[in-house]
């Protein structure tokens, strides 16, 4: 049997690895070809190891609570490379009127779980805080079908909470608009919380208690992990791990797919202009949705209804000499910028505080984000202008007056999938169409069921399982 894995990001690589594991454990031979359009593997995962720094242009960490990420590191023999986020840098700020305000204390994903602490927050006005707390007395939300995350949270906690806490914190992960993102496909657990407890705040109080109990079991470790030598090391290890058993075709874009009597014909073009066709019994398709859709359309599977817009962003890493930075950033992990502040930056992570292992001790390193859905105009700036703009904003918000001694801009065009209202239903129909019309084909990756690295790993493994089962049952 022969299987094509299309896309060499974390999803495709874990799918290929899982196919090898299955074929070994079931003792059935399986030839695997992995197609990657770029000249490198890793997709959104990109580490720079320069100037004594180990800094990320794409993702910088994984949520440890979702076990698939840490488990993969263990399976790859990388357990001793795991680094937990510095617990000393736990404070996050939110910008309001150009000033840093500490995230309210005692919250569960921003939802007040300790009312007295929430009331002392300087981020929201008195009216905004009281409106948020009204959630405790509001009747249950009568939601029968998917609505926007924004509409749901606005109805429970009010506009000010949503604009200054909810959107930067919850929609920021998708670089999306809170009033367009699907409640069910992004933060379904908040809906479940409200259903179980009627009020989000009452539910948050219970969740926070559970979280604190669990955390004490983890000896105070942070919720986020990374890898000492950068996340691209995971890609390098995965590549080495599968290299013997998988034919990896870099610089090779899949441009067409066709059903044949026995499987799928996959047509590809190489960077050198060459083109080739190969037939497979099964296919795992892990590209972003925009690249997957034309291929699925050729198989009469996908309709226009399945729409996942991707927001564009850029990360700008600024490195300063410590002696030039008069402010102490060591106690915090960074800040978020609400949409209404109208800045180029949407957030900033203080790498040297959050992940001290990434930075020599004589440097201070900030990673700033620019661009999100509906706020992409600053991405038009060239690199030099973007670094200038972001440095100016860092100066006015954080008070760093020095010039960065090193910078790196990484542009991510159409990179962050935004799951719109109805995403779950559309996805269900897509899976049903694949099941009925395309045996031994599976889709997986950030555009479908979670964009976090552990979600992508789970999807890659599940897709490999589905294809393997269809071929060998
Ligand atoms: P991709 O990485 O996009 O891989 C898909 C691959 O398919 C690409 O390599 C592409 O070149 C290839 N491809 C496309 N079309 C074709 C074709 N026709 N033929 C062959 N190959 C093709 N997640 C976290 O968990 N934590 C974070 O801190 C975090 N931060 C992030 C910060 C940024 C700036 C970005 C952009 C993302 C971040 N994410 C984070 C999300 C996470 O990085 C991604 O969701 C994840 O890496 C996506 O993996 P993937 O394999 O599904 O897709």
Handedness of CA 115, 119, 120, 122 (dihedral sign): positive
d(CA 200, CA 111): 7
ipTM score here?
0.99
CA angle in degrees (0–180, nearest 5) for 98-102-105? 150
d(CA 425, CA 311): 21
Per-residue tens of pLDDT for the chain, all 473 residues: 999 999 999 999 999 999 999 999 999 999 999 999 999 999 999 999 999 999 999 999 999 999 999 999 999 999 999 999 999 998 999 999 999 999 999 999 999 999 999 999 999 999 999 999 999 999 998 888 999 999 999 999 999 999 999 999 999 999 999 999 999 999 999 999 999 999 999 999 988 888 777 665 445 567 899 999 999 999 999 999 999 999 999 999 999 999 999 899 999 999 999 999 999 999 999 999 999 999 999 999 987 788 999 999 999 999 999 999 999 998 999 999 999 999 999 999 999 999 999 999 999 999 999 999 999 999 999 999 999 999 999 999 999 999 999 999 999 999 999 999 999 999 999 999 999 999 999 999 999 999 999 999 999 999 999 999 999 87
pTM: 0.96
Residue 447 in 3-state DSSP? coil
**Binding site membership of 291 for ligand 1 (Cβ less than 6 Å):** yes
Q: How far is the CA of 67 from the centre of ligand 1 (A)?
A: 19
Q: How far is the CA of 401 from the centre of ligand 1 (A)?
A: 34
Nearest residue CA, atom 38 of ligand 1? 59
d(CA 333, CA 367): 11
State in Å, rounded, how far the first CA of the chain is from the last one: 13
Beta strands in 223-291 (DSSP E): 224-227, 246-249, 252-259, 264-270, 275-280, 282-285
**Binding site membership of 57 for ligand 1 (Cβ less than 6 Å):** no
For residue 113, which phi and psi values (nearest 5 degrees)?
-120, -15
Q: How many residues does the chain have?
A: 473
Per-residue model confidence (pLDDT) at position 398: 94
CA atoms within 13 A on the CB side of 415: 23
- Count Cβ atoms within 10 A of the Cβ of residue 438 and give its class: 0-12 exposed, 13-18 middle, 19 or more buried: buried
Per-residue model confidence (pLDDT) at position 219: 52
* Pair type for strands 2-6 and 31-35: parallel
Q: How far is the CA of 287 from the centre of ligand 1 (A)?
A: 8
Look at residues 120, 4, 145, 21 and name the one whose alpha carbon lies nearest to residue 71: 21
**Binding site membership of 35 for ligand 1 (Cβ less than 6 Å):** yes
Per-residue model confidence (pLDDT) at position 216: 52
For residue 386, which phi and psi values (nearest 5 degrees)?
-70, -40
Q: How far is the CA of 428 from the centre of ligand 1 (A)?
A: 22
d(CA 146, CA 161): 21
């Amino acid at each position: 049997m022969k299987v094509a894995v299309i896309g060499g990001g974390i999803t495709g690589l874990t799918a290929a690895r899982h196919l090898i594991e299955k074929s070994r454990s079931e003792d059935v031979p399986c030839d695997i070809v992995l197609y990657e359009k770029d000249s490198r593997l890793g997709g959104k995962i990109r580490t720079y190891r320069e100037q004594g720094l180990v800094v990320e242009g794409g993702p910088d960490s994984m949520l440890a609570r979702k076990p698939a990420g840490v488990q993969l590191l263990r399976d790859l023999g990388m357990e001793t490379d795991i680094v937990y986020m510095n617990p000393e840098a736990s404070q996050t700020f939110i910008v309001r009127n150009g000033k840093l305000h500490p995230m309210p204390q005692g919250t569960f994903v921003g939802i007040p779980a300790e009312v007295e602490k929430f009331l002392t927050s300087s981020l929201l006005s008195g009216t905004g805080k009281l409106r948020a707390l009204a959630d405790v007395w509001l009747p249950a939300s009568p939601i029968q079908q998917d609505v926007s995350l924004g509409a749901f949270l606005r109805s429970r906690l009010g506009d000010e909470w949503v604009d200054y806490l909810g959107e930067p914190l919850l929609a920021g992960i998708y670089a999306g608009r809170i009033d367009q993102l699907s409640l069910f496909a992004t933060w379904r657990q908040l809906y479940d919380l409200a259903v179980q407890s009627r009020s989000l705040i009452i539910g948050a109080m219970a969740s926070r208690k559970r979280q604190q109990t669990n955390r004490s079991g983890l000896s105070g470790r942070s919720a986020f992990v990374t890898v000492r030598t950068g996340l691209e090391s995971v890609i390098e290890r995965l590549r080495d791990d599968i290299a013997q058993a998988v034919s990896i075709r870099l610089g090779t874009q899949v441009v067409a797919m066709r059903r044949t009597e026995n499987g799928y014909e996959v047509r590809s073009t190489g960077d050198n202009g060459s083109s080739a066709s190969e037939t497979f019994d099964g296919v795992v398709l892990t590209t972003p949705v925009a690249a997957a859709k034309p291929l699925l359309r050729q198989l009469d599977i996908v309709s226009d209804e399945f729409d996942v817009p991707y927001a564009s962003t850029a990360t700008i890493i600024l490195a300063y000499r410590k002696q030039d930075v008069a402010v102490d950033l060591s106690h915090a992990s960074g800040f978020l910028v609400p949409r209404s502040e109208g800045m180029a930056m949407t957030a900033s992570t203080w790498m040297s505080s959050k992940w001290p292992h990434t930075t020599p001790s004589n440097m201070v390193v900030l990673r700033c984000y620019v661009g999100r859905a509906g706020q992409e105009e600053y991405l038009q700036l060239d690199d030099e202008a973007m670094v200038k703009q972001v440095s100016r904003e860092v100066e006015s918000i954080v008070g760093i007056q020095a010039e960065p001694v090193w910078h790196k801009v990484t542009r991510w065009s159409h990179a962050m999938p935004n799951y719109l209202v109805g995403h779950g239903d559309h996805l269900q129909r897509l899976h049903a169409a694949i099941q009925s019309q395309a045996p031994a084909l599976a889709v997986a990756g950030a555009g479908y069921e979670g964009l976090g690295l552990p979600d992508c790993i789970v999807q890659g493994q599940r897709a490999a399982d589905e294809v393997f089962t269809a071929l060998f049952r």
